[in-house]
Amino acid sequence: MSTLNEISEALQKGRAKLVKELVPKALEEGIAPRAILEDGLLAGMNVVGEKFKSGAMFVPQVLMAAKCMNAGTEILKPHLTSENSEPLGRACLGTVKGDLHDIGKNLVRMMFEGQGIEVVDLGVDVAPETFVQTAIEKDCSIIACSALLTTSMPSMGAVVEAAKAAGIRDKVKIMVGGAPVTERFCNDIGADAYTPDAATAATVAAGFLSAS
Ligand code: B1M
């Protein structure tokens, strides 16, 4: 079995210690960090998602897989990000209200920081007003929202409305993403950018900050 498959299987089985051994092994074998993330860790997480959906896996097992994902990405972090010394600008980032999923949000943070963007990480279950208040207080040019649940997505629209109500809509770019989010949804709520993955989000955010 290839090391990438071993990583995927170890994550599916919730074996964090093994993931911590296999990720450095894959790096030593010369496998690209991005491939380890996408074809090892995320591939395993997709299987977990399918099994969770069909009832073949339950919350405690999914939490173990999430722990493996975090352990793996922590090791990959220095290899995925190229530290820029000059900060490009500041963004506040969070998972929207009612939503506790944070793995994708943490990846976005990692990629933003790698592009030299300072991140104010608001965590999970973040109210629309908190995004906006933080953007004002910390002088953030970008509000970045992640959502994994179809039921929490509407909160992204509330962020756009809260920014308008606070009079800062023309001063911030609002970026949205997460598995159920689409370009169309982004346009419907009047956000500025939808991106399908964390790396693309960081590139787009850097573009916004360079242009401002
Ligand atoms: Co949850 N869960 N979960 N869960 N969970 C999903 C999302 C689900 C699709 C599973 C399923 O049924 N197949 C489903 C949602 C269904 C729906 O709404 N349509 C679901 C459900 C139903 C639930 C609960 C309601 C289950 C329950 O309790 N009955 C519950 C909700 C809790 C809550 O939030 N209020 C719940 C709980 C949990 C756990 C706590 C057990 C755990 C989360 C642990 C954690 O995050 N610390 C969990 C997990 C792990 C998942 C799955 C299996 C994996 C999610 C994940 O981390 N993927 C997930 C199934 C799946 O997605 N296949 C599922 C890896 C991560 C890197 O991907 O976050 O999509 P993702 O990020 C991607 C892109 O989307 C993008 O970048 C990343 C790639 O580079 N991206 C952005 C993300 N944010 C971005 C922002 C951007 C740009 C790109 O710009 C700002």
Question: For residue 37, what are its two tokens?
Answer: 């993330």
Tell whether the model's pLDDT for residue 152 goes beyond 90.
yes
Asked whether the beta carbons of 93 and 144 are under 8 A apart, the reply is yes
Say if ligand 1 is within 6 A of residue 142 CB.
no
Tell whether the model's pLDDT for residue 25 goes beyond 90.
yes
Tell whether the model's pLDDT for residue 141 goes beyond 80.
yes
Say if ligand 1 is within 6 A of residue 101 CB.
yes
- pLDDT by residue (tens digit) across 70-97? 999 999 989 987 655 578 899 999 999 9
- pLDDT by residue (tens digit) across 29-43? 999 999 999 999 999
Distance 149 CA to ligand 1 centre (A): 7
The residue among 50, 207, 164, 187 whose CA lies nearest residue 12 is 50
More confident residue, 114 or 125: 125
CB within 8 A of 62, min separation 6: which ones?
A: 48, 52
Task: Please tell me the pTM assigned to this model.
Answer: 0.92
The residue among 151, 161, 155, 154 whose CA lies nearest residue 190 is 161
Cβ–Cβ contacts within 10 Å for residue 54, how many? 8
pLDDT of residue 84: 56
Distance 128 CA to ligand 1 centre (A): 20
Asked whether the beta carbons of 205 and 112 are under 8 A apart, the reply is yes
The Cα-based distances of 120 to 34, 36, 58, 69 in angstroms read 24, 27, 32, 22
The residue among 74, 62, 75 whose CA lies nearest residue 13 is 62
Question: For residue 146, what are its two tokens?
Answer: 């992640």
